[in-house]
């Protein structure tokens, strides 16, 4: 049996078939012909390098060489539609007749465009689909954009690139991940992170690990370096995410790695060096920065080989990165080694395969930060224990010795991660394609936090135990199997019809194990060589499966309808819940392609597409939340039973239903493009923490009772501002407006559910409360007495209208290319409409900082009221009353990056393809209104679940990353 | 072999390896997950029996209840004032305490912990202990007795600190007096199993007849029943082994540490500061795992004294108080403990303290800190029988003399001073002052029929409690005068203060 006979075989049997068959070699027939041609820029006639040239409805394709030329070989005689595509240009197609033994010619002159209607995307649509057919937006971050961004992590790479997606740093320290919000906040309890696929494989991106260092946790997003990225697609949720089911309410990010291009073997070596210099804007100037910071040396070396024959291409790369980091004593050191390979093979005219693998080793350090009692920056900023003129530590107020003690703790984390993807494509005939992907993401992390002395020494207590080691290991394994089949039915008059079937199964297991040793033996790095040893363990597992069917209908190639249905099962659903359904419906109309569209309009409004969609996606409850569970902590040598999760057998995913509409328009011959989308996303059955009667002794239980709404405007404007032979200026603006609100807070019996916490502190918390933004600030404040004084009486739980989620954000960027080889790009991001709680200010008040005290109305009388007879130091009221005064406007504007690229630096010497780059990331911050805190960099993780940020103080901003690189290809 | 064949083989090998790994790592069925934590099924089905763990859970929960009550009572009362901590700022100014206050609104608060202890006891009594096949009949009896005792103690503590509270899910508010009957019923029901050998992993957990009788005496006193209170107090004293008896909430230095300890030990400015006239009692606890006394024999004498005062029997009351002093001067004091510095409050042995402006200046109540001091981990009192007030006895100043007290009012003041000193940092003073704290807001939210008002949404505070934080106020640095002697105030209002009628 050969594969040519297996046309009717069910795709899932592919594996079996493959293991028993030999694949027919695609031997060149003497009866074939070929097509050759050149792809150029229509305006300048310059060759376009790397343009894609493919034959419609087949897997046959190639890319243009450095001279813009291409060749498609071994084509059976017949008529072919050949399409040439290039990013930033309008695609062109041409019908070519191929005859045996003859070379046909097809040249393409592509015109620049800001409208990406012809761009192919695959995310959320089952099969590769042109953007003009989409009823809901799918954004693509191209290789050019990736090259322009001097960063090494996916989250930073995406900052400012996609309208509707807000990406805020949780910390500037290594190993941490950003807070990503796509179109607001759709859950009151779950993380806002979208799901992420690498080459079709679901990968772990959770903020989920770490030994406590003051609100900072490690994120798996930080180790998603996956070889060389070809492109990233982003779906913001709604109808676009429906095919991804009950975990996709926050959208989907797909990363595609390079698999090489046919042609001669190409080598690329690159070296990058630079400095991470600390951002000192938010650091108080009353101590020398050199105590705490350094300019950390950065170096990175990359080697890459790619090439291949027509039917097998490959891309193999390796890189090593070393960064001493911006904290003194190399405390923020970050080392990374990475090898990756991607291979694409066309095994026959019906069968192809892709394989990608990457292994990452990352080691990094961190320090205590935030209001952690051992946070050095916090201690310095608040002055506690460091100022003799205020309240000093009992044992010592010797600044130097305290400083040294606080610098002793050492945090180290090692991550080993491997992401593997294997995809088989099987097209038994032109209209029927099948794709099966098997994936594996393995992630092993090991953290060690060593404090060589007894920490309370910093407060003058007698050293009773000599040091502590806290160890924690996390092992995560996720296996996934994904099938996408697509069949194009015969056209019925002007109506085309493509049906796709998606099947997905994901299984993951996570285990965390750790130990603590206190009272260490001298010099040990093993936690068991200590006076007291304790251990802990935790684990979870989830299986998630879904099938989806989709029908894409095209009418006259101008109107497109999109119908889909997804069905999910998961072990996270309650026992009484079997499956969950999610439908989607969408339509797009390319108005300007109709005959009635006046030709005269095209010079002004050159293209118009209207689109609208309805879709549902979900958020799965955390594993085992459905079960009634018990805890058994150790107590005096015996496990002591306690109540834990109350359990709910009816638990199911929260469902976000989105109705969205918008238009894509091109102006002035598509030199300017505008995309506008309005979406209304309503989350029903939202998981809210519902209290039990305290009489039952049970705590809160997540139940599907709540409702949230997110109303979002997104606008994306691109323009080819100026184009001439030697000058090309492009500009881009993204802007989004998000209104998020809790719409329903009653239980199944109509009883109101009390507010519950989503982060923050008792004196100023982020709350889930009816008719307010998720995480609305609720704080205590001092009451003013009738005589106008403030005597320490506290008014509790006042909402002041502040919210943690930015309501307006976006980015502005431009790219200038001069004389083809020299380019400058820059991007600025902005965000406003939210607030942060500055937790340093209450501490500074305690330390007697006049400027902090003055922010409280009537602070003099507080001092008087707080003065206790016999007390050596007067203390202004109490902590609990301070929250309200320190909720600060969190607006910011940041220049994210500025990059210069100079290609062909030494072309005069005959050395071509040598590229010099100089860039800086995060160079300038302005427009902030906070006091001594970076409004973007904030923390307060809450139970590893929802993370709205907005608690700031003594966090390290991302450093200014200066980078200089040379890249040579040959 | 051409390159294509080579790749084909690589693909096949990888696919097979991945599939094999997928299958092996998921124990053959990737769609099945096992909850690694404890479920109710696993508890009941566990062949080793779960009663041991359940009882340890009850002990741990009792410790949590005693710890948080001790902490709250310390700064809610005139014992300590809250200088600068993460604890609630309203508790010092007790009239500002509401059901939303962080001291009681959370699951770590007094109310929730006590209700959780009741619920866990019920779960054990009905689900775990009867189902544990590994127990012998006497073990089961004793296990049930322990669970009932802890349930009774939890309800007793609820009744001491609240006006009323529900005892059933979404049920009506039960007045404290009626709840005490439930507590007493639990203590009585426990009696049957107490003759069986103690089913405990460590003798310190043993609940015996002294424990039970002290609990009953405390409950009957709280219920205002003189005869029963006196009966069980006397019965406890008469039970062999009662001399020096104390039942304590135990702590674990690694896993559950004394919640009062950090505030009385770690001396920075951010802490609780003791009222200077009680300085010599601080810190009562010297280590992370110092136990907190819950029921001790001194209480039986104090209850008997209160009953005698109620009967206007001065001589008998004095005898009982004398016995209480003897019992309180325990042999377990720790001398030479290196006290941390005290910042803010008086910190020298040279300081004299007046309980209020009209009281005599007593020397020797304040310790020199830092420096070696004597710590009293169970009980102590500055009241003596023969020494003159102002003299030094056993290293501390005598602040009251039984011999010269001859009125009910004087003796009542001394009785409540002794209760304050003997039960120092044991979670009793707040209740003795007549303060009743609100329920937690969650309770009112899920059960709105409970209503609003004193003891529900806000603290119930007797009018004799001074406004603001005056209970904790004092003036002077070397000659300290406390603003109010709360024991004198209590004596003046004794008919309201005591559960018993007072002459």
- pLDDT given at position A384: 56
User: What single-letter DSSP state applies at residue B454?
Assistant: B
What pLDDT is attached to residue A388? 39
A770 interface with B at CB cutoff 8 Å? no
- Write the secondary structure of B11-36 as one string of H (helix), E (strand) and C (coil): HHHHHHHHHHHHHHHCCCCCCCCCCC
CB of A345 less than 8 A from some CB of B: yes
The pLDDT of residue B40 is 81
Mean pLDDT computed over A588-598: 90
Spatial neighbors of B125 by CB under 8 A, at least 6 apart, are: B144, B147, B148, B151
Residues 463-502 of B with CB under 8 A from A: 473-477, 480
Sheet strand arrangement including A764-768: A756-760, A764-768, A776-784, A790-799
Among A167-171, A560-564, B450-454, the least confident range:
A167-171
What is the band of A8 on the pLDDT scale with cuts at 50, 70, 90?
Answer: very low
Give the CA distances from residue B314 to residues A477, A702, B403, B456, B484, in Å, rounded to whole numbers and listed in that order: 77, 60, 11, 38, 26
- Looking at residues B410-417, what average pLDDT do you find? 97
Interface subset of A 499-528, CB within 8 angstroms of B:
505, 507, 509
B443 contact A CB<8A: yes
How far apart are alpha carbons A500 and A549 in whole angstroms?
6
**pLDDT class of A26 with cuts at 50, 70, 90:** very low
pLDDT in tens, A605-637: 999 999 999 999 998 898 889 999 999 999 999
Q: CB-based contacts of A522: which residues, under 8 Å, 6+ apart?
A: A466
| Window A:219-278, CB contacts with B under 8 Å | none
Has residue A354 got a pLDDT over 60? yes
Where does B108-202 show beta strands of DSSP type E? 164-166, 173-175
Mean pLDDT calculated for residue range A423-450: 91
Instruction: Say yes or no: A534 contacts chain B, CB-CB below 8 A.
Output: yes
Q: Reduced to 3 states, what is the DSSP secondary structure of residue B302?
A: helix
> Would you tell me how many other CB atoms lie within 10 Å of the CB of residue A466?
17
- What are the tens digits of pLDDT across the range A235-258? 988 888 888 888 899 999 999 999
Contact with chain A for residue B378, Cβ under 8 A: no
Q: Which two tokens stand for residue A725?
A: 């032979």
Q: Which three-class secondary structure string do you get for A934-959?
A: CCCCCECCCCCCCCCCCEECCCCCCC
Q: Between residues A472 and A14, which one has the greater pLDDT?
A: A472
If you average pLDDT over every residue of chain A, what do you get?
Answer: 84
More confident residue, A868 or B237: B237
The per-residue pLDDT for A319 is 93
- In this predicted structure, the answer to whether residue A909 has a pLDDT above a threshold of 80 is no
Q: Is the pLDDT of residue B330 over 90?
A: yes
Q: Give the pLDDT confidence of A505-556 residue by residue, as tens digits.
A: 999 999 999 999 988 887 888 888 888 888 889 888 999 999 999 999 999 8
Quick check: B449 contacting A, CB < 8 Å? no
- pLDDT for res B103: 87
pLDDT of residue B50 exceeding 80, the answer is yes
Q: Between residues 312 and 331 of chain A, which touch chain B (CB distance below 8 Å)?
A: 312
Which residues touch B228 (CB under 8 Å, ≥6 apart)? Answer: B216, B220
- What per-residue confidence (pLDDT) applies to A561? 94
Tell whether B352 lies on the interface with A, counting CB pairs under 8 A: no
List the single range of B24-28, B311-315, B400-404 with lowest mean pLDDT.
B24-28
Within the 17-76 window of chain A, which residues sit less than 8 Å (CB to CB) from chain B?
18-19, 23, 25
Name chain B contacts of A875, Cβ cutoff 8 Å: 83-84, 269
Give A48's DSSP letter: P
| Contacting residues of A for B85, CB less than 8 Å apart | 879
Phi/psi of residue A101, nearest 5 degrees: 75, 10
| A368/A253 Cα distance (integer angstroms) | 32
Q: Is the pLDDT of residue A68 over 90?
A: no
Q: Does A640 touch chain B (CB under 8 A)?
A: yes
Helices (H) and strands (E) in chain B, counts: 17, 17
A613 half-sphere exposure, CB direction, 13 A CA radius: 36
Give the confidence band of B14 by pLDDT, cuts at 50, 70, 90: low
Q: How does pLDDT run across A183-237, given as a tens digit for each residue? A: 999 988 888 889 999 999 999 887 767 777 777 778 888 888 766 888 899 998 8
B137-161 vs B209-223: helix axis angle to the nearest 10? 30
Mean pLDDT value across residues A672-697: 93
From B52, B86, B102, residue closest to A638, measured CB to CB: B52
- The whole-number average pLDDT for the span A406-424 is 90
The share of chain A scoring above pLDDT 70, in percent, equals 88
Distance from CA of B99 to the nearest CA of A (A): 11
**Whole-number Å distance between alpha carbons of A174 and A180:** 17
Least confident of A24-33, A223-232, A736-745, B172-181: A24-33
Interface of A with B in 692-711 (CB under 8 A): 692-699
pLDDT above 50: residue A29? no
Cβ proximity of A778 and A765 under 8 Å:
yes
Q: A123: number of CA atoms within 13 Å, CB side?
A: 31
With a pLDDT cut of 70, the percent of chain B lying above it is 93
Mean pLDDT of A123-131: 79
Distance CA B162, CA B173 (A): 11
Report which of residues B26 and B450 the model is more confident about: B450
Name the residue facing B202 among A479, A543, A636 (closest C-beta): A636
Across the A:B interface, residue pairs with CB atoms under 8 Å apart total: 268
End-to-end CA distance of chain B: 111
- Position A11 scores a pLDDT of 42
Range A883-910 average pLDDT: 86
Cβ partners under 8 Å of residue A822, min gap 6: A900, A901, A902, A903
Query: Between B45 and A801, whose confidence is greater?
Result: A801
State the alpha helices, DSSP H only, in B274-407: 297-310, 314-328
Phi, psi of A210 (to 5 degrees): 140, 155
The DSSP annotation for A337-356 comes to: EEEEEEEEEE-SSSEEEEEE
Kindly tell me if the per-residue pLDDT of B2 is higher than 90. no
Tell me B127's DSSP state: I
Check CB contact under 8 Å for B84 and A879.
yes
pLDDT of residue A611: 94
E strands in A42-174: 52-55, 61-63, 69-75, 78-85, 92-98, 103-105, 108-110, 120-121, 129-130, 138-141, 165-169
What's the confidence (pLDDT) of residue A420?
A: 95
Task: Tell me which of A67-76, A379-388, B276-285 is least confident.
Answer: A379-388
Q: Of chain B residues 266-285, which have a CB less than 8 A from chain A?
A: 266-270, 276
Q: Do A698 and B119 touch (CB under 8 A)?
A: yes
The DSSP bridge partners found for residue A478 are: A441, A508
Partner-chain residue, chosen from A394, A643, A644, that has the shortest CB–CB distance to B340? A394
Name every chain A residue with its beta carbon within 8 A of the beta carbon of B75: none
Question: Is A543 an 8 Å CB contact of chain B?
Answer: yes
In this predicted model, what pLDDT tens digit does every residue of B67-100 receive, in sequence order? 999 999 999 999 998 876 778 777 888 888 888 8
CB contact under 8 A, A694 and B442: yes
d(CA A423, CA A399): 60
């Amino acid at each position: 049996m050969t594969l040519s006979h297996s046309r009717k075989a069910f795709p899932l049997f592919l594996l079996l078939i493959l293991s028993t068959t030999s694949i027919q070699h695609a031997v060149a027939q003497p009866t074939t012909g070929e097509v050759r041609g050149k792809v150029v820029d229509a305006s300048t006639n310059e060759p376009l390098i790397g343009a894609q040239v493919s034959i419609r409805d087949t897997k046959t394709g190639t890319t243009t060489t450095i001279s813009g030329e291409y060749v498609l070989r071994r084509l059976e005689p017949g008529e072919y539609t050949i399409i040439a595509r290039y990013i930033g240009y309008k695609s062109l197609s041409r019908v070519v007749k191929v005859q045996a033994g003859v070379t046909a010619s097809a040249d393409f002159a592509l015109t620049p465009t800001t409208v990406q209607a012809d761009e192919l995307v695959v995310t959320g649509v089952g099969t590769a689909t042109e953007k003009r057919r989409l009823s809901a937006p799918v954004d693509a971050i191209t290789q050019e954009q990736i090259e322009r961004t001097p960063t090494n992590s996916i989250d930073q790479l995406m900052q400012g690139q996609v309208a509707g997606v807000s990406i805020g740093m949780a910390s500037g320290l290594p190993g941490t991940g950003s807070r990503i919000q796509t179109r607001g906040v759709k859950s009151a309890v779950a993380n806002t992170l979208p799901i992420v696929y690498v080459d079709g494989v679901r990968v772990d991106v959770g903020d989920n690990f770490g030994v406590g260092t003051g609100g900072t946790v490690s994120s798996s997003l930080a180790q998603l370096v996956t070889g060389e990225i070809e492109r990233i697609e982003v779906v913001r949720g709604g109808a676009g995410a429906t095919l991804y089911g009950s975990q996709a309410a926050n959208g989907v990010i797909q990363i595609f790695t390079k698999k090489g291009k046919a042609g001669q073997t190409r080598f690329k070596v690159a070296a990058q060096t630079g400095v991470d210099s600390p951002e000192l804007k938010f650091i108080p100037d009353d101590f020398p920065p050199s105590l705490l910071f350094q300019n950390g040396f950065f170096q990175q070396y990359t080697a890459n080989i790619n090439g291949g024959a027509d039917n097998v291409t490959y891309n193999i790369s390796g890189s090593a990165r070393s960064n001493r980091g911006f904290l003194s004593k190399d405390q923020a050191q970050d080392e990374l080694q990475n090898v990756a390979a991607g291979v694409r093979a066309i095994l026959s005219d019906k069968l192809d395969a892709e394989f990608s693998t990457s292994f990452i080793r990352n080691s990094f350090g961190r320090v205590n930060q935030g209001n952690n009692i051992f946070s050095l920056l916090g201690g310095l900023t608040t002055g506690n224990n460091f100022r003799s003129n205020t309240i000093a530590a009992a044992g010592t107020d010797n600044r130097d010795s305290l400083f040294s003690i606080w610098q002793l703790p050492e945090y180290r984390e090692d991550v080993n991660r491997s992401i593997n993807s294997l995809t088989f494509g099987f097209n038994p005939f032109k209209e029927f394609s099948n794709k099966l992907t098997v994936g594996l993401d393995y992630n092993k992390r090991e953290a060690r936090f060593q404090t060589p002395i007894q920490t309370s020494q910093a407060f003058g207590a007698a050293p009773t135990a000599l040091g502590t080691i806290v160890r924690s290991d996390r092992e995560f394994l996720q296996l996934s199997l994904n099938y996408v089949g697509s069949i194009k039915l015969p056209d019925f008059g002007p109506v085309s019809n493509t049906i796709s079937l998606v099947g997905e199964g994901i299984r993951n297991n996570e285990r965390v194990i750790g130990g603590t040793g206190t009272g260490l033996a001298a010099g040990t790095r093993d936690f068991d060589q200590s006076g007291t040893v304790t251990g802990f363990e935790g684990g979870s597992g989830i299986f998630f499966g879904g099938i989806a069917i989709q029908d894409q209908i095209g009418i006259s190639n101008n109107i497109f309808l999109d119908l889909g249905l997804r069905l999910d099962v998961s072990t996270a659903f309650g026992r009484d819940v079997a499956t969950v359904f999610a439908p989607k419906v969408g339509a797009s109309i390319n108005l300007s392609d109709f005959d009635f569209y006046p030709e005269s309009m095209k010079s002004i409004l050159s293209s118009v597409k209207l689109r609208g969609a309805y879709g549902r996606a979900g958020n799965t409850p955390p594993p085992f939340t459905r079960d009634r569970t018990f805890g058994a902590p150790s107590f005096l040598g015996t496990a002591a039973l306690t109540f834990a999760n109350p359990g709910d057998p009816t638990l199911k995913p929260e469902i976000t239903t989105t109705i969205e509409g918008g238009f894509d328009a091109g102006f002035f011959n598509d030199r300017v493009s505008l995309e506008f989308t309005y979406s209304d996303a309503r989350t029903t059955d939202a998981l809210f923490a519902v209290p039990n009667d305290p009489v039952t002794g049970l705590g809160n239980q997540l139940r599907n009772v709540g409702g949230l709404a997110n109303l979002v405007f997104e606008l994306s404007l691109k323009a080819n501002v100026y184009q001439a032979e030697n000058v090309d200026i492009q500009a881009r603006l993204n802007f989004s407006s998000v209104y998020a609100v809790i719409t329903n807070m009653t239980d199944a019996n109509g009883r109101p559910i009390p507010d519950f916490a989503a982060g923050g502190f008792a004196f100023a918390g982020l709350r889930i409360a009816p008719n307010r933004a998720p995480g609305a600030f609720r704080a205590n404040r001092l009451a003013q007495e009738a005589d106008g004084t403030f005597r320490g009486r506290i008014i509790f739980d006042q909402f002041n209208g502040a919210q943690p989620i930015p309501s307006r954000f976006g980015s502005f960027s431009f790219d200038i290319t001069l004389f083809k080889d020299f380019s400058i790009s820059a991007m600025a991001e902005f965000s406003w409409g939210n607030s942060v709680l500055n937790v340093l200010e209450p501490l500074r008040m305690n330390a007697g900082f006049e400027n902090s005290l003055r922010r409280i109305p009537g602070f003099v009388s507080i001092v008087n009221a707080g003065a206790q007879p016999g007390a050596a130091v007067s203390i202004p009221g109490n902590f609990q009353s301070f929250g309200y005064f320190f909720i600060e406007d969190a607006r910011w504007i940041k220049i994210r990056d500025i990059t210069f690229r100079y290609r062909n630096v030494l072309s005069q010497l005959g050395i071509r393809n040598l590229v010099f780059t100089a860039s800086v990331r995060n160079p300038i911050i302005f427009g902030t209104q906070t006091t001594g805190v970076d409004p973007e960099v904030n923390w307060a993780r809450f139970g590893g679940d929802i993370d709205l940020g907005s608690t700031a103080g003594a966090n390290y901003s991302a450093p200014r990353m200066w980078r200089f690189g040379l890249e040579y290809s040959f | 072999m051409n390159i294509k064949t080579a790749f084909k083989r690589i693909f096949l090998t990888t696919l097979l390896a991945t599939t094999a790994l997928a299958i092996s790592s998921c124990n053959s069925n990737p769609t099945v997950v096992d909850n690694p934590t404890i479920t109710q099924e696993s508890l009941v089905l566990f062949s080793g029996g779960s009663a041991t763990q359940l009882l340890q859970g009850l002990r741990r929960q009792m410790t949590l209840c005693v710890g948080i009550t001790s902490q709250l009572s310390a700064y809610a009362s005139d014992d300590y004032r809250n200088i600068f901590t993460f604890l609630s700022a309203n508790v010092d100014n007790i009239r500002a305490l509401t059901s939303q206050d962080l001291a009681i609104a959370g699951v770590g608060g007094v109310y929730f912990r006590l209700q959780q202890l009741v619920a866990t006891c019920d779960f054990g009594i009905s689900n775990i202990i009867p189902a544990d096949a590994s127990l012998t009949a006497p073990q089961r009896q004793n296990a049930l007795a322990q669970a009932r005792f802890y349930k009774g103690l939890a309800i007793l503590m609820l009744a001491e600190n609240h006006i009323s509270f529900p005892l059933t899910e979404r049920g009506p508010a039960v007045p404290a007096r009626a709840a005490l009957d439930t507590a007493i019923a639990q203590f009585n029901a426990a009696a049957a199993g107490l003759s069986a050998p103690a089913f405990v992993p460590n003798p310190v957990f043993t609940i015996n007849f002294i424990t039970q009788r002290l609990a009953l005496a405390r409950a009957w006193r709280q219920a205002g029943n003189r005869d029963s209170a006196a009966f069980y107090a006397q019965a406890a004293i008469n039970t062999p082994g009662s001399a020096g008896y104390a039942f304590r909430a135990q702590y674990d230095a690694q896993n559950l540490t004394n919640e009062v300890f950090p505030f009385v030990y770690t001396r920075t400015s951010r802490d609780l500061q003791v009222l200077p006239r009680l300085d010599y009692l601080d810190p009562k606890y010297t280590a992370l795992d110092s136990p907190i006394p819950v029921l001790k024999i001194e209480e039986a004498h104090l209850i008997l004294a209160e009953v005698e005062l109620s009967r206007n029997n001065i001589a008998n009351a004095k005898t009982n108080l004398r016995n209480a002093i003897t019992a309180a001067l325990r042999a377990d004091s720790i001398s030479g403990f290196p006290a941390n510095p005290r910042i803010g409050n008086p910190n020298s042995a040279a300081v004299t303290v007046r309980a209020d402006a009209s009281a005599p200046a007593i020397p020797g109540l304040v310790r020199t800190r830092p420096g070696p001091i004597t710590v009293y981990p169970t009980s102590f009192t500055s009241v003596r029988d023969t020494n003159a007030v102002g003299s030094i006895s056993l290293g501390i100043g005598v602040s009251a003399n039984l011999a010269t007290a001859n009125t009910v009012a004087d003796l009542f003041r001394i009785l409540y001073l002794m209760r304050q000193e003997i039960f120092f940092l044991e979670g009793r003073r707040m209740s003795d002052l007549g303060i009743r704290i609100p329920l937690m807001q969650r309770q009112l939210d899920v059960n709105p029929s409970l209503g609003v008002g004193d003891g529900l949404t806000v603290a119930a505070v007797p009018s004799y409690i001074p406004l603001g934080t005056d209970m904790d106020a004092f003036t002077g640095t070397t000659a300290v005068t406390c603003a109010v002697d709360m024991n004198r105030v209590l004596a003046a209002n004794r008919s309201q203060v005591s559960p018993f009628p007072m002459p």
